[in-house]
Structure 1
């Protein structure tokens, strides 16, 4: 969307630009939307405008902060919506291969230790798990009920969005039918740019982004933990295999 002149807000901006301050906001918004006993008011337009004042395009974030937030945007006649829909089983596999894998890593050595020694590393793991559990009914990848819960909640989410958003300002795109400028630009009343629509392997791109984010924070956590040379060899070997992290002794 940047190519079209928008300033998008995505989890990438949370990780690479705003850091822990926005991680705390995301955490609060996700908890408020999914835990009615939390005591945290659900985010509506005033809170969203304060949080996202410098952005004019939200990507994925609305799916985690509740339908009430979506409803507040739907009331604005100047806002349009693009809903990308895909085969539920393919979505489940993709979600498990990205967010599900992060959740698994957070609970095993060495990340279950290191995440406690860097605020942004810990915030990243906590937020990813919260967003994952919101869609998986609290189950982790590999749990007997996990895939069924994810599939059910994804189907219900897509249905709820279609019921909530105004049809005349909502474009529904099925990924299996193709996603590109030809679908997006006419809806936004914009010319098709000369640049090709960005195409990337979602899982590979996700792993690259997470790897770039984690490397310096993992190293900082290791320093704070006071890891000595011998234990570091084992940790470094794991990180190098899992995240492409190079550790120079």
Structure 2
């Protein structure tokens, strides 16, 4: 189990614009008559052993693509709709909103990575919120409704014998997961962490270089404008 190479959305962030664009194209295509094929998804996700969270952004077509492979198993994490909405609005929704605030509004214009990140976060946020912005008063209720719809979709598409439902509110560990996957239970404890706090730390680390770059560009531009203004005024006086 510890040897598995899991793919999570965060895997894209260190690599840059091209990889994010590929995921964006897959998300957009999932809502059309020509969703990504298994070969295209395999090319997108590389040689990872499992996908974490990513399939939920590919809609019913993405789930069906993997259901068609009888060797693939699914783990569905269950929680209260209110808990899900709180988590998503505090992580993805929060940073999508921040990308429209200073200084990230300036960074979006000055840095191609931040520009693409905003587009990817917008697609992900709107997939769950039915197009509502995090500031909309109905945002959380839309997330709750989407969560219930998603759980229903997964259960309707995936055969019961190929899906393990884990209740996040009750808790779970290696035993349930490893027994389902038919692999050995690791000796080390199951990792417990504050995923929302980790998301915020990771986001700050990823965005910090772009913010620094933007501040340098703005400072340089301001200095150039001030210098030009001083020169122009001096010329007028002569």
Partner of 2:219: 227
Q: What TM-score, normalized to structure 2?
A: 0.88
Question: Once the 2 structures are TM-superposed, how far is the Cα of residue 104 of structure 1 from its aligned partner?
Answer: 1.1
Query: Whole-Å Cα distance in 2 between the matches of residues 121 and 164 of structure 1?
Result: 35
Q: Does residue 153 of structure 1 match 2:151? A: no
Query: Whole-Å Cα distance in 2 between the matches of residues 229 and 198 of structure 1?
Result: 47
Q: 1:27 aligns with which of 3, 11, 24?
A: 24
Q: 1:182 aligns with which of 167, 172, 175?
A: 175
Query: Whole-Å Cα distance in 1 between the matches of residues 85 and 152 of structure 2?
Result: 16
* Larger Rg over CA atoms: 2
Is there any run of 5+ residues in structure 2 with no aligned partner, and where?
Answer: 224-238
* DSSP 3-state at the match of 1:4: coil
Query: Whole-Å Cα distance in 1 between the matches of residues 202 and 140 of structure 2?
Result: 25
Partner of 2:230: none
* DSSP 3-state at the match of 1:171: strand
RMSD: 1.9
Question: Once the 2 structures are TM-superposed, how far is the Cα of residue 200 of structure 1 from its aligned partner?
Answer: 0.6
* DSSP 3-state at the match of 1:177: coil
Q: 2:99 aligns with which of 81, 106, 115?
A: 106
* DSSP 3-state at the match of 2:20: helix
* DSSP 3-state at the match of 1:128: helix
Alignment of 1:64-213 (within 5 A): 64-213=57-206
Runs (4 or more) in structure 1 with deviation over 6 Å come to none
Query: Whole-Å Cα distance in 2 between the matches of residues 157 and 147 of structure 1?
Result: 15
Is the CA contact (8 Å cut-off) linking 1:121 and 1:218 kept in structure 2?
Answer: no
Query: Whole-Å Cα distance in 1 between the matches of residues 207 and 131 of structure 2?
Result: 25
Partner of 1:10: 8
Q: What TM-score, normalized to structure 1?
A: 0.84
Is the CA contact (8 Å cut-off) linking 1:8 and 1:55 kept in structure 2?
Answer: yes
Partner of 2:236: none
